[in-house]
Amino acid sequence: MISKGLLALACGTFALGIAEFSLMGILSTLARDLHVTIPQAGDFISAYALGVSAGAPLPLFFRRHPLKRILLGLCGLIVLGNGLAALSTGYAGLLCARFLSGLPHGAYFGVAAIVAVALVAPGRKATAVAIMVAGMTVANVLGVPAVTWLTYRVSWRLTFLLAALWGVIAFAGILGCVPGTPAPGKRSIRREFRFLKGPAPWLIFLATFLGQGSVYCWYSYMEPILLEITRIPAPWMKWVMTLAGLGMFCGGLLCGRLADRFRPALVSAWTALAIVPILLGIYHFSACAPVAVPLVFLGAAALFGLGGPMQYLIVRYSRGGEILGGAGIQIAFNMSNACSAYLGGIAIRNGLGLVSPALLGIPMALVCAGTLFWLNRRYSADDNSRRG
């Protein structure tokens, strides 16, 4: 049975999931209402990701405070940033609000992963992290399709209002359901960085950056691809986003369970390899709805299936610097998001076509898989000794 504490943590990732992923379903509407191009609207995705990267190290400066208190402060930032986004009236204002609303994202995931691992018994720690992350996948199953529908019916501002509302719910849930957690300790900043002397965390960061970016190059522009290439009617987008959310949920939970049974690096490595045929299929068959729509499910499943075990791995390979490790992997995730959305926009601006970003992700997925196979081979003995 899932504990109330884990559910409370998942409420926070639900709010963050709405804030991050809803734009993929409303990008065309947002561009039209603000009188900007599709690549310019993609800048709102990059701005959020840059905010995540900038805010990920924030817990380091509050490391002497209890982790529960840090989480509550981050929930407050979720409410503030998304509230301002809902009130934005132009391109520049929304760009700044998106950056601000991204600040708590990476820090929240980093701290929540540490708390989730502490809440469960040995043998269920990777699953606990997957449950915490599952709040984001549930947001993609329920929240994102709902705000996509509301955007077409009412206004895109409701997207950010709902994210702010769930930030309030997460605050209340963590306050009442997550037990008090002590501060990580009074270690100096220098001691926090010690785990970075070994190659393992750097390999994890590199693989995370490449794996996330491989899918995000395409996923950032999924909505205009489906509308203009696949010719999906706009009212159907809510169902496509539901399918994408189901893919994220299934992929994240499946790979989380597999990572408890097998080596997490190996699970993510094979997931990265599976991304290659998915992206090739997207590039060649986006004009064929019966093929393109199932590929949305598979691409989303691979995106979250790869990421969950990586968050668990960094907690295990950052002993003594868990907060910094959690911040580092969120920087890797979201710098990848920002760079891949930007690179995809460059490809589109240069006339390569809306679907061209899918090809950009293929070499990234291959290098990611190679990095993870190397990580698994080099640390397999140590990984077995740490299991549980």
If you write DSSP's letter for every residue of 109-142 in order, what string do you get?
A: HHHHHHHHHHHS-TT-HHHHHHHHHHHHHHIIII
> How much is the average pLDDT of 26-43?
82
Average pLDDT in the chain: 82
Q: Is the pLDDT of residue 342 over 90?
A: no
Find the range with the poorest average confidence among 32-46, 269-283, 312-326. Answer: 312-326
User: Each residue of 218-240: pLDDT tens digit?
Assistant: 888 888 888 889 888 877 887 88
Q: Answer yes or no: is pLDDT of 284 > 50.
A: yes
User: What span, in angstroms and rounded, lies between the C-alpha atoms of 130 and 111?
Assistant: 14
Work out the average pLDDT over 11-30. 84
Q: Considering the entire predicted model, what is its pTM?
A: 0.70
- pLDDT value, residue 126: 65
pLDDT in tens, 82-133: 999 988 888 889 999 999 999 998 788 878 877 887 777 666 666 777 778 7
User: What's the pLDDT band for 79 if we cut at 50, 70, 90?
Assistant: very high
Do the beta carbons of residue 346 and residue 47 sit within 8 Å? no
What pLDDT score does 387 carry?
Answer: 45
| pLDDT (0 to 100) of residue 223 | 82
User: Does 278 score more than 90 pLDDT?
Assistant: yes
Report which of 214, 204, 321 is spatially closest to residue 263, judged by C-alpha positions: 204
The token duo for 255 is: 């790979």
Q: Residue 359 corresponds to which tokens in the numbers above? A: 């090809």
What pLDDT, on a 0 to 100 scale, did the predictor assign at position 275? 93
- Is 190 a residue whose pLDDT tops 80? no
Encode pLDDT of 148-165 as tens digits. Answer: 788 778 888 888 898 999
Mean pLDDT check: name the lowest of 14-28, 174-188, 363-377.
174-188
Confidence of residue 182 (pLDDT cuts 50, 70, 90): low
**Residue 139's pLDDT band (cuts 50, 70, 90):** confident
Least confident window among 94-103, 129-138, 189-198:
189-198
CB 343 within 8 A of CB 219: no
For 103, the domain range is 4-386
pLDDT of residue 384: 47
User: What pLDDT score was predicted for residue 81?
Assistant: 92
Q: What is the CATH number of the domain that holds 164?
A: 1.20.1250.20
Rounded CA-CA distance 18/168 in Å is: 14
Task: Give the span between the Cα atoms of 312 and 256, in whole angstroms.
Answer: 9
State the DSSP code for 78: H
> Rounded distance, CA 255 to CA 126, Å?
9
Domain count, the chain: 1
Choose the weakest-confidence range: 129-133, 187-191, 277-281, 310-314.
187-191
Q: What is the pLDDT of residue 183?
A: 60
Question: Would you list the DSSP string of 189-212?
Answer: HHHHTGGGGSHHHHHHHHHHHHHH
Calpha distance 354→363 (Å, rounded): 19
Highest mean pLDDT of the ranges 17-21, 113-117, 258-262, 287-291: 287-291
Is residue 386 pLDDT above 50, yes or no?
Answer: no
CA-based nearest residue to 134, from 17, 23, 244? 17
| Per-residue pLDDT at 267 exceeds 90 | no
DSSP assignment of 152-180 equals HHT-THHHHHHHHHHHHHHHHHHHHHSPP
Do residues 15 and 140 lie in contact, with contact meaning Cβ atoms separated by under 8 Å?
no
| pLDDT of 70 above 60 | yes
How would residue 192 be classed by pLDDT, with cut points 50, 70 and 90? Answer: low
Record the tokens describing residue 222, joined without a space: 């999924």
Q: Band the pLDDT of 78: cuts 50, 70, 90.
A: very high
Q: Which carries the bigger pLDDT value, residue 61 or residue 69? A: 69
Per mean pLDDT, which range of 112-121, 278-287, 357-366 is the poorest?
112-121
pLDDT reading at 381 higher than 60:
no
What six digits make up the tokens of 339? 């760079």
- Asked if pLDDT for residue 332 goes beyond 70, the answer is yes
Can you read off the two tokens belonging to residue 260? 């408890």
Cα separation, 177 vs 219, in Å, equals 34
Q: What pLDDT, in 10s, does the model give residues 41-57?
A: 878 888 888 888 788 77
pLDDT tier, 328 (very low <50, low <70, confident <90, very high otherwise): confident
